[in-house]
Amino acid sequence: MVRIRIARRRAGMSALEALLSLSILSLVLVAGVGVMSTTVRSWTGGTRRVDAENETAYAVRYIASRIQEACMISVASDGMSVTYWMPQKDEDGNYRMPVTPETESRSFSVSNGTLYETDGHGTRELLAYVSSTDPSIPGSDKSYVPFEAGAGSVPRVLSVHLATERSGVNSETPVRSRHRQIIYLRNVPTPN
């Protein structure tokens, strides 16, 4: 009778199997790192866009909250600043009637790409990276005027147009933001 020997495999892996397993594991890890890198880059870009939108929207809302209570405004001829006067108040904090402006003026201005607020307490920075050109048209030279007064000898309306443009992460596409709001002055004195 002929005996057939069945070779028993020893427990463990051969060198070829180990090498193949390490190769597959390496490919999976490289792909995982690539996906993670793309995800982080996308997350960072999205966060920068949201931050830019929020900062620009906040600045426009802040300007509106201040100017809507004003009784008089004056916009510079280049549209880069607006000066405003608040109505005088009595000792109880109520507006005096008839409405008359305070002697102290306040202003918002854009200078060297930064939006500033100036009042009796000094000047402070509100928003950086303010663009003087329209950000919706890349490479455009079309000027973007931040402040425009409504028609009439006594302006009752102010349009605020703020645009920002920041450099992207790792020389990516710049992050742009743009917000507009029309502000109606509440306390403009009526002519007698």
List pLDDT tens digits, range 137-176. 766 677 788 999 988 777 889 999 999 988 766 656 788 8
The model's pTM: 0.77
Evaluate if residue 1 carries a pLDDT over 80: no
- Bridge partners, residue 89, by sequence: 95
CA angle 29, 34, 37 (to 5 degrees): 120
| Tokens of residue 112, six digits | 């060297």
Per-residue 3-state assignment (H helix, E strand, C coil) for 56-73:
HHHHHHHHHHHHCCCCEE
CA angle 83, 87, 91 (to 5 degrees): 140
